[in-house]
Amino acid sequence: MSKNLVIVESPAKAKTIEKYLGSDFHVLSSVGHIRSIAKKVKGGTEPIQVDKGFETTYEIDSEKKKTVAELRKAVKVAETVWLATDEDREGEAIAWHLCEVLKLDPKTTKRIVFHEITKKAIEEAVKHPRTVDMSLVQAQQARQILDRLVGFELSPVVWQKVPGGKSAGRVQSPAVRLLVEREREIDTFNGSFTFKVTAEFMHDGQLIKAELPKRFETEPEAQAFLESLIGANFTVSNITTSPSTRNPTAPFTTSTLQQDANSRLGFGAKATMSSAQKLYQEGKITYMRTDSVNLGGEAIAAAASYIKSAFGEEYSQVRTFKTKSAGAQEAHEAIRPTDMAAERGSSNEYDQKLYTLIRNRTLASQMAPAKLEKTVVTIAISTAKEVFEAKGEVIIFDGFLRVYGGSKKDADILPSVTSGDLLALEAATAKQLFARPPARYSEGALVKKLEDLGIGRPSTYATIINTVQVRGYAEKGEGEGTPRDVIVYSLKNNQVERDVIQEKTGADRGKLVPTAAGQVVSDFLTNHFDQIVDYGFTAKVEEEFDEIANGKLERNNMLQEFYKPFHQLIVESGGIDRSTVAQAREIGIDPKTNKPVMARFGRYGPMLQLGSGEDKEEKVLFAPLPAGKKIETVTLEEALHAFTLPRILGKTTDGDDIKANIGRFGPYVQIGKLFVSIKPLDPHTITLAEALDLYKQKLQAEAEKNIADFGDGIKVLKGRYGPYITDGKKNAKIPKDTEPASITHEQAKELLASATPAKGRFARKTTTKAPSKKPAKKTTRTTEK
């Protein structure tokens, strides 16, 4: 057995490190966090005892008990234990929890950190061990305790007072507020338009594209200007040429990596961090959670060496970047490759794209600026005081653009002209341009906004964005936009013609769109718990975490300062009138029944209601809000159309009605007890033939899913994760060496007898395990006060 035991966070990291440390070292993994704040404590005490200095009870996560048992066994036979968890606060906290669970003294146990997994970095870390930094641990504890208190005390209030409310979190709530505020800016945006005039000229057989700097406010003005160009002469009146340079940006921080991966590669924040984690664990890049833009001396030298050999001396320019973030605290270097010369970082195409992005950004930061020459040709009009301008750009020296930062659209390269040259007008166009409302946030843009506001840290950005979507408070848009008429005047062959074309506007594909539930919860918190959604307050809390980490602020003082006023708001929340939250909007009166039609927020989201419900004898009808419509803007006509459902399309060959409707999970047709999704078809317009075709496909899928039916409710089915046995209450996994079709009724009964009950609507996804012979022992620990 090896003398030294090294404990890291991930199995992949363990394999990489073990090959760098000799046979005297054995490397095991904790597989992330091993303990969490307990949900319940025996005796009825709270897991976090506020009145006892926020004393906290932790318990080993159920899925980590086997891992902990293996680590305990390894610790007993090792002479020296080295804790090599990640170098941020989460990693420091895991190291402390390992000390607690494995009965190691945090004051003497060796703690090593490194920001890249290379042989040299690992060996250097072993030469310079330290002990667990309790200031970092307490900063992580403060965040965890605060988030637990807010979540556990505020979420029940949201459940009780907000229709459809699910939860509220300390950092996710300001993020939702950002999305909601942006959505309302878009809703209240007053659109305006102007007319933009462009022209195409010919000179010595070469095309010159130009634009009029002036915009026309009205259609008659634009038309009159184009008509004034008929018979006019066009002369080059001025040519200006100016040199310019473009400098590279700094290497990646966590935030800028997520932003660029989103804008350039289309990666979401969660996917970006997952991919970066793999590259780090395989020793290909440095630690991926960092606020720093700094590069170490060796990295700068390695970049310079590679750039000179690959591109030439003139492409190399050493640069140092200074971190702007006052709270930068996670790591000491930007995200960069561990080997600047290595073009391949992964055999996985997805991970390789991210590696290339990181490598090119790093190399670009150490390369010479690009040298450009910008040219503006001014074209005078004999019949008007306005002038056209033709702009071009030439790259004299590409510099860092050789590897990173090329524009999506190349600038026009202008043909050679001299002052006084006459140009021939080929065509001119005046096109209606509409002012654009503020853009919805992409994941990358939201990360940037959170960073600008000081909300969150490198380790939390991806989690925040994932949480608001999982909770149903925001979703990724899929809309391609709606058509809009655009007026275009064209001058060609001395004729001005007016056309109306259509262009799409309002596309939200890939953007984060707040749901109705997100808007209701955000409004509720803003009205009653402003502290939770206040941007400045949330940023101040982050700064206080930083002060705890730096040993400048006592943990419990900070927690008490936050908790006391927050808890008072919770106590007072009982007086909030639920009926005032998400109030219904009366749209109008149904002309057929003379009943009011209302749009309101219900348990499962926005909905329409026909009838007030004040009279118990009154039959109230409900319908989902039409797709793409909002409670604030849906019209009476749209609402009444929604109440035409359900719609009978016809009958099956067996004589069963085929009914089209919209439910909680979207549009469907119903035949008896069978529901068939019809997405993306509309239940108002779906034809009988289309419904019958979808019904046929559903029956075929159901038939293929049934491997065996024993007639008493016990079936052998083909599931998403393989074949299984069910009786509707329990699911049982079929042994690997057993052919599903060969299972007998008796075998099915035996397997079900040892299975656990299936739960909820996802019951059939549940697999079963044989019960353990000995119950697992529950282990809990309590933090120091």
pLDDT digits (tens, 9 = 90+) for 515-540: 988 999 999 999 999 989 999 999 99
Q: Strand pairing of 35-37 and 25-29?
A: unpaired
| Nearby residues of 1 by Cβ (< 8 Å), 6 or more positions away | 26, 77, 78
pTM for this model (two decimals): 0.80
Q: What pLDDT shows up at residue 773? A: 35
Q: What pLDDT shows up at residue 628? A: 76
Q: What pLDDT shows up at residue 222? A: 96
Q: What pLDDT shows up at residue 679? A: 87
Q: What pLDDT shows up at residue 1? A: 55
Q: What pLDDT shows up at residue 326? A: 53
Degrees (nearest 5) of the Cα angle 263, 265, 271? 100
609-635 burial, b for 16+ CB within 10 Å, e for fewer? Answer: bbbeeeeeeeeeeebbbbeebebeebe
Q: What pLDDT shows up at residue 386? A: 95
Provide the 3-class DSSP secondary structure of residue 159: helix
- Please give the Cα distance from 564 to 567 (Å, whole number): 5
Alpha helices per DSSP H over 169-319: 172-187, 219-228, 254-260, 269-281, 297-311
The dihedrals phi and psi of 654, each to the nearest 5 degrees, come to -90, 0
DSSP 361-416: HHHHHTBPPEEEEEEEEEEEETT-S-EEEEEEEEEEE-GGGGTS---SSPPPPPPP
Q: What pLDDT shows up at residue 40? A: 87
Q: Quick one: tokens of 303? A: 């970049």
CB 719 within 8 A of CB 701: no
Degrees (nearest 5) of the Cα angle 656, 660, 664? 120
Alpha helices per DSSP H over 629-687: 636-642
Q: What pLDDT shows up at residue 346? A: 92
Segments of the chain with pLDDT less than 70? 1, 324-331, 406-411, 756-785
- Count Cβ atoms within 10 A of the Cβ of residue 147 and give its class: 0-12 exposed, 13-18 middle, 19 or more buried: middle
pLDDT digits (tens, 9 = 90+) for 4-18: 999 999 888 888 898
Q: What pLDDT shows up at residue 19? A: 87
Provide the 3-class DSSP secondary structure of residue 350: helix
The dihedrals phi and psi of 539, each to the nearest 5 degrees, come to -65, -40
CA-to-CA dists, residue 650 to 415, 656, 684, 692, 700, angstroms? 68, 8, 14, 9, 21
The type of residue at 567 is H
- Please give the Cα distance from 417 to 239 (Å, whole number): 8
Q: What pLDDT shows up at residue 50? A: 94
Q: Strand pairing of 234-246 and 422-434?
A: antiparallel
Instruction: Report, as residue numbers or ranges, the catalytic residues.
Output: 287
Provide the 3-class DSSP secondary structure of residue 462: helix
Q: What pLDDT shows up at residue 561? A: 95
Degrees (nearest 5) of the Cα angle 83, 148, 163? 145
